[in-house]
Amino acid sequence: MERETYEMASFRNNRELAGDKGSVEDYVFLKSQDTQELSVQPLLQESRAFRSGMEKGLLMGGGGALLAMGILVAALVCHFRKKEENLKKNLEIDAVTGLGNKLYLKRCFRQKIREENRTSYYAVFFYTDTERMMRQRGTRETEEFLRRGAKMLRQYTADTDILARAGEDGIVLFKQASSPEKIRRWMELAFKEIDEERRARGDFREIWATAGVYPLKAADWDEDVILLEARRIARVAHERGQNFLICDQEIERQLEQERALQAEVKRALEEGEFTIYLHFYVRADNFQVIGAEALSRWNHPTRGFLEPDSFIGLMEKEGMISQLDFYGLDKVCAFLERIFRKGTRDFFISCNFSRQTFSRPDFTRQCREIIEKYEFPREMLVLELTESVSAPNVGRIYENMVKLRQYGVRIMLDDFGEGFATFSDLRKYPVSGVKLSKSLVDDIKEEKGQAILQAVVQVGRSMELMVLAEGVEDDEQVHLLQEMDCDIIQGYRFYYPVPEEVAEERIAQREGRS
Ligand code: C2E
Ligand code: CA
């Protein structure tokens, strides 16, 4: 143990670009002054123009004056060159942590990691769900956390290593080590130190970082691909509740499966293997069908009929869920147009959208493009914001909601009471309805469960929101929800999800058309 501590200590004071220049705070200062391109570019141009002017002046002078002038010009040229170099360097600094950013990483990767020493490097990706942390602890605390992490890692960075902020959610360290065992011991000590430092500050909450370690192979020349691999491994560590994971054969197999899924989803969308099932909603007061929820199903050629639990989470993690969400929206809009043409009124369909899809910058544009292909009143469509494996860009979700509301499409918060959505979201977001999660409904018969549900329904109603309950399975639950004044009920007590063709027939029967 003593030797290991010594090994760690020997990394201390071996500082990278950032470390040589002073404290983390210095970097934040540098960045705020120098890395905004708008202010840097004119400065760079100014320095270049000045230099070239001076160089011309040098040719025109004469004698001693010329020499003095020459020295002065040389000094100035030197000064501006240095300034230019500094400005370029500062463009490589991350504002929050003071570490190098991706530009810095790119440059150092080319300089330090070459074919002959590549396999001695390990890419260690420290992953933090910064979006979630910001929601729960605020921006200031999140940034402080990142700064502390950066400062600590900088102490353990040798000259041959590269430490950089690799994106919003992670810091990467390219570390040289003689064996996977060495790196494992190093990781254990690093996390022990993180833990001790946290406790010393009186912070006993969970550690908000997990790490993925990817040993570089001889053929790994692209730092972006390496980052992606290390990040994936960090994410697997996060899912398994482990501090860190070093890529081994089992993890390689898992990652391979995910890659295969990506290819499969692409094919399945092209081949039309995804279908939608509709799950009817009934009014709580008279049990009349007033709408339905669209749920995806995958008719897989070899694995059979797949329910969403086996593919939605994976697709979210792989960043592929929006393809399915938009595909589903298209099918729902086509369905709405068909039933509207046949005379159906007072009916809506809710369509599930992952938070990931909802936070896309092109979300409203894509929705509009799909919706405008079909003819039906916009109020027949409701978008459900589902709970997802992660809660990305909250600000963007809000902006997209506002735009869609203006466009006439209603939005509902799904699975309320289960995940990220809070009471304050009800106030902040322009939503028309809230869907109580099945887990809340499951506890309705217990005293405390009932009190919670009652409170949530009351909050919803007092904000004039449509209140829906899902997962309702028996008469007692129905009765209690009626007493609470819930508006709409969905669950196996009334209907099971059915293929869209079956749903269309039932709607026609409801309206006496068949
Ligand atoms: P969800 O939106 O909460 O949908 C309700 C799920 O509970 C559905 O499962 C539904 O079949 C099931 N359910 C409804 N009533 C009852 C009940 O009384 N008892 C029980 N035991 N279960 C009930 P499903 O279809 O397997 O969907 C699971 C989740 O997958 C959905 O949860 C939704 O979040 C997600 N999902 C489905 N399709 C899509 C999609 O196209 N895009 C996205 N982003 N998510 C989807
Ligand atoms: Ca839903």
Angle at 14 between CA 13 and CA 19, to 5 degrees: 80
Verify whether ligand 1 is closer than 6 Å to residue 276 (CB atom): no
- Distance of CA 295 from the midpoint of ligand 1 (Å): 6
- CA-to-CA distance for 466 and 213, rounded, in angstroms? 47
Per-residue pLDDT of 60-84, as tens digits, reads 555 677 778 778 878 877 777 777 6
Q: Is the pLDDT of residue 208 over 50?
A: yes
User: Taking the model in full, what pTM does it have?
Assistant: 0.64
For residue 296 and ligand 1, the question of a CB distance below 6 A is answered with yes
- Containing 282, the helix (H) or strand (E) segment is strand 274-283
Domain with CATH 3.20.20.450 in the chain: 265-510
Higher pLDDT, 54 or 211: 211
Q: Quote the pLDDT of residue 87.
A: 63
Strand boundaries in 302-419, DSSP class E: 304-306, 348-353, 381-385, 410-416
CA of 267 to the centre of ligand 2 (A): 25
Which of 295, 333, 388, 496 for a ligand 1 pocket mutation test, highest count of atoms within 8 Å of Cβ?
295
β-pairing verdict for 498-499 and 348-353: unpaired
Q: Span 96-101, mean pLDDT?
A: 94
Instruction: Specify the residue with its C-alpha closest to ligand 1, atom 35.
Output: 308
CB 235 less than 6 A from any atom of ligand 1: no
Segment 457-485 mean pLDDT: 95
Question: Could you give the CA distance from residue 300 to residue 392 in angstroms, rounded to a whole number?
Answer: 29
Which residues contact residue 174 at a Cβ distance below 8 angstroms, ignoring those fewer than 6 apart? 108, 109, 112, 113, 121, 122, 123, 124, 161, 162, 163
Residue 281: nearest ligand to its CA? 1
Enter the DSSP assignment of 44.
H
285 in helix, strand or coil?
Answer: coil
Q: Ligand 1, closest atom to CA 328?
A: 41
Dihedral sign from CA coordinates of 239, 243, 246, 249: negative
User: Does any ligand 1 atom lie closer than 6 A to the CB of residue 491?
Assistant: yes
Best-predicted range by mean pLDDT (156-160, 240-244, 283-287) = 283-287
Atom of ligand 1 nearest to the CA of 324: 41
Nearest protein CA to atom 30 of ligand 1, as residue: 308
| CA separation for the pair 164, 93 (Å, rounded) | 9
- Whole-angstrom Cα distance, residue 436 to residue 284? 14
Task: Outline which parts of the chain fall under CATH 3.30.70.270.
Answer: 102-247
Name the CATH superfamily, with its identifier, for domain 265-510: EAL domain (3.20.20.450)
Give the model confidence (pLDDT) of 28-48 as tens digits: 322 333 333 333 344 345 445
**Ligand nearest to the CA of residue 357, numbered in listed order:** 1
Architecture per CATH, domain 102-247, reads as 2-Layer Sandwich (3.30)
Take residue 30 and report the two structure tokens written for it. Answer: 């540098």
Q: How far apart are CA 183 and CA 12, in angstroms?
A: 16
Q: Which has the minimum average pLDDT: 23-37, 258-272, 368-382?
A: 23-37
Q: What is the dihedral of CA 453, 455, 461, 464, to 10 degrees?
A: -110
C-alpha span between 430 and 453 (Å, rounded) = 22
Query: What tokens does 234 get?
Result: 């960090």
pLDDT tens for 111-164 read 999 989 999 999 999 998 887 788 778 899 899 989 999 998 998 899 999 999
